[in-house]
Structure 1
C-alpha cells in the first residue's frame, strides 16, 4: 500500500473512533424481520426500514421465484439495449398508477434515482434550492448537476420564499428547482408540501420530492404527495423500493415527457444493468398489495403510535416526529454509542445515529417499528429501554 494512503487511513480511522463516530457494521444471520439474529443472539429489531414487513412476505418470495424460473436471475443488459423486460414495463405502469402520475421509470436504487434525475434536469446554468436536512443522495445529485446550490432552512417557508425570490429575480439562472424529502428520515417530520407548492407556483419553481420514507407510509401507503392530494402539482416524485416496498431499487414518477427524457438523459438508466426479474416481479406484487389494502399501513401506524407513547411516558426525548420513525435523542456521540450497545446486550437492536448523518451533539437511537412487530415485542423493547435509560442517566 502507498505510504501516504496508509498514514491517511490510520489517522482518520483513529480520529473517528476517538470521537465516537466510527460505525461498527453488524452482520444479520438470516432474514431481516421484526426479530433478527446477530452473533447467535436473537434481538428485537428496531432499526430496519422494512416498514410493512414485506421483505420476508411469503407471497413476494413466491412470485420472485416464479420470475426467476421464467426470466432468469438477471436482466442481461442495460435498459437501452435489451435489458428492458416485459416485467419492467409492467412495474413502471403499476408505479405510475400507484403514484397518480402519467408515467414512472425504475432505477437500481433510490440513491441512483437522485443521482440520475437531478443532474439530468438541472445543469450549471440553473439553481437548486435544497432543504438543509435533505438526504445525502440529494446532496450528491445536486453537486453532480453543477447547478448553484442554495441551502434553505429546514421547513422554513419564509426562508424558502425569500431565497426563491432572490434566485428567480436575479436573472442568473435559467431554471430554479426546490427539492425536499417528503418524510425526513432522522426526525420523522413531514415536508410542508401545500405551502411549498404555493411558493413554487408563485415563482415557477420546479418541484422535486424524495419520498423514500413516505411511500408505503403516508397517504394510506401512496406517499406524502398523495397524502396532500398534490400529485398534479409536484413535478418529480422520487421513491425507493427497498423500504416499505421491501425489495430493492427506486423510481421517479411524473409526466410522460419527464420520464421519456430521463430514459435518454439519466446516466444510471443508460449505463447500469436493470433490476433483476425476481426483484421486479416482487416489487410489482408489493405495490399491488398496497393498492388493494391498507391493513399493513394501518398496523404500522398503530405500532408506531404505541412505541412513541411508551417512550415518551418513560421520559425519553423523541423529538417532533409525525410518522412511525421514532428517534430517542441522546445528544453526546459517545453516550449515544454506549446506549445503543447496551440495548443490544439486553436484546434490542436499535442502531445509533451520529455525525455526519445528523449534526454534532444530536446523536440519537432511531427506532423504526414495523407492521410485523407484535405488542409483546414492543412491550419488551420498552422494558429494556427503561432499564438502559436509567442505568446511563438518560432518563431519571
Structure 2
C-alpha cells in the first residue's frame, strides 16, 4: 500500500538521523524551572534554560499567574477580534510597549508567530527585506510568507550589509527593512545595531529586531539590544517565554498605526486563540520586577555569572565562542560527541543539551550553556568541574 511506503520512508529517515548522532532527546523535568531541577528523580544543576532573570519559577510570578486565572479563567476559547480580548491583554500590551519605549504593541501566542505575522501585512512585492544570515528560523519563515524581494548579508558584516542595501535601492525598492536578531540564540553574538543604524539612515531603511534573547536583561533596565547600543529601531519582536516569566507568548512593539494594521491583517493574530490569562498575569509581574531596582540587581548577577563561567571554562581549555552574552556555546564540532557529552554531564549532575544540525550548521555542534541570575558562583564552579571531568574523559580538553 502507498501509506506503508510513506511510513517506511519516515522510519528510514528517523534511523538515518539517529545514525548521524542528530537525535535530540527530550528529558522530562519533574519540578519548576530554576537553577536546580529534578530530572529522573535526581536534583541536577540546570545550565540550558532561557531563564535569564531566574523568574520562571519565582513565587511572585506563579502567584500572579494563579490570580489571573482565578479572575479571568483558563482562557477565552476564542481569537482576539471575536470575543477573546480581555482587559488583562490590553494591560499587558500597554505594559510591554511602555517598558520597551514604543507607542503600542500586539500580542501573539508565541514569538514564532510574532515573526511569522510581521512582514506579510506590512511589505509587498515593491519592497525589500535585508536579513542577517544567522537569523532565527521564525524570521526566515516570516520573510518567506512575504512577497518582498529578499536579500541576505553575512552576520555582523557591515560591508556586506551596505552592499545589499545598495542592491535593494538599485533594484527600485519602495521600502527596505533590515531584519536581525538582537542577540543570536545559538552563538550569543549581539547584533551591531549602532552600525546598522548608521547604514539604515544612509539608505533610508527601517530596522526590525528580534529581541527574544535580549529583552529583560540587555541594556539599561533590560530594554534590549537596541537600548544596549543606544539606538532607536522601528519594530521589536520578543517573548514572555524567556527572561520575562518563562511561560510563552510573543509580541511586536511598533508605532500605533503599525500595530493597528497588524491587528487587521496579521494572520497568526487573527486565527490564534488569545493568550491565556495566566500567561498575561505572570508576564505582567515579570515586567514589574525586570524594570525595577530588583531587575538591576538580577542583571548584575547575570553578568557576573557569565563572566565567571567564561573565564573558568577558557582556563580549563574549552573552545568557547567569544562574547559577553549569558549564552556561552562550548564548541565541539561533532554531533555525536555533543550528544555523548551532554549525557555524561547529566550523569555528573549538570543538565545541558547538545545542539547539532539543523539547529546549527553541520560541523558546528556544541553544548550551548546559558547562565541565569538565579545561579550562584557555587553552581558555576560545580558546572565547570563537571565539564572538566567530562571533557577529559572524552578527549575534548
TM value normalised by structure 2: 0.96
Please list, as runs of the form range in 1=range in 2, the aligned pairs for 1:26-37 lying within 5 A after superposition.
26-37=27-38
1:191 maps onto 2:187 in alignment: no
**1:258-289 CA-partner distances (Å, limit 9, x unpaired):** 11111111111111111111110111111111
The one of 334, 337, 340 equivalent to 1:335 is 337
Separation of aligned partners in 2, 1:183 and 1:378: 22
1:248 maps onto 2:241 in alignment: no
Q: Report the secondary structure of 1:55's partner residue.
A: coil
Question: C-alpha displacement at 1:178, in angstroms?
Answer: 1.0
1:239 maps onto 2:241 in alignment: no
Unaligned ranges ≥5, structure 1: none
Separation of aligned partners in 2, 1:118 and 1:263: 13
The one of 320, 323, 326 equivalent to 1:324 is 326
1:77 maps onto 2:78 in alignment: yes
Q: Report the secondary structure of 1:380's partner residue.
A: helix
Which one is further off, 192-201 or 115-124? 115-124
Separation of aligned partners in 1, 2:144 and 2:126: 13
Separation of aligned partners in 2, 1:268 and 1:239: 15
Q: Report the secondary structure of 2:215's partner residue.
A: coil
Separation of aligned partners in 2, 1:123 and 1:38: 48
Separation of aligned partners in 1, 2:50 and 2:234: 26
**1:309-367 CA-partner distances (Å, limit 9, x unpaired):** 11111011111122111110011111111111111111111100111111111111011
Report what 1:151 is aligned to.
152
Report what 1:25 is aligned to.
26
Separation of aligned partners in 1, 2:150 and 2:358: 19
**1:178-221 CA-partner distances (Å, limit 9, x unpaired):** 10000011111110101111111111112100000010120141
Separation of aligned partners in 2, 1:77 and 1:150: 37
Separation of aligned partners in 2, 1:96 and 1:142: 24
Q: Report the secondary structure of 2:56's partner residue.
A: helix
Separation of aligned partners in 2, 1:296 and 1:137: 29
Question: C-alpha displacement at 1:168, in angstroms?
Answer: 1.0
Separation of aligned partners in 2, 1:109 and 1:237: 14
1:99 maps onto 2:100 in alignment: yes
Question: C-alpha displacement at 1:75, in angstroms?
Answer: 2.3
Question: C-alpha displacement at 1:125, in angstroms?
Answer: 3.3
Question: C-alpha displacement at 1:50, in angstroms?
Answer: 0.9
Report what 2:136 is aligned to.
135
Unaligned ranges ≥5, structure 2: none
Report what 1:394 is aligned to.
396
8 Å contact kept, 2:298–2:373:
yes
1:5 maps onto 2:10 in alignment: no
Please list, as runs of the form range in 1=range in 2, the aligned pairs for 1:276-355 lying within 5 A after superposition.
276-293=276-293, 294-355=296-357
Separation of aligned partners in 2, 1:258 and 1:322: 33
Q: Report the secondary structure of 1:201's partner residue.
A: helix
Q: Report the secondary structure of 1:242's partner residue.
A: coil
Separation of aligned partners in 1, 2:345 and 2:126: 50
Separation of aligned partners in 1, 2:292 and 2:348: 39
Separation of aligned partners in 2, 1:338 and 1:196: 39
Separation of aligned partners in 2, 1:160 and 1:67: 45
Q: Report the secondary structure of 1:168's partner residue.
A: helix
Question: C-alpha displacement at 1:305, in angstroms?
Answer: 1.2
Report what 2:259 is aligned to.
259
Separation of aligned partners in 2, 1:84 and 1:229: 34
Separation of aligned partners in 2, 1:269 and 1:79: 8
Question: C-alpha displacement at 1:242, in angstroms?
Answer: 0.3
Separation of aligned partners in 2, 1:216 and 1:292: 11
Report what 1:42 is aligned to.
43
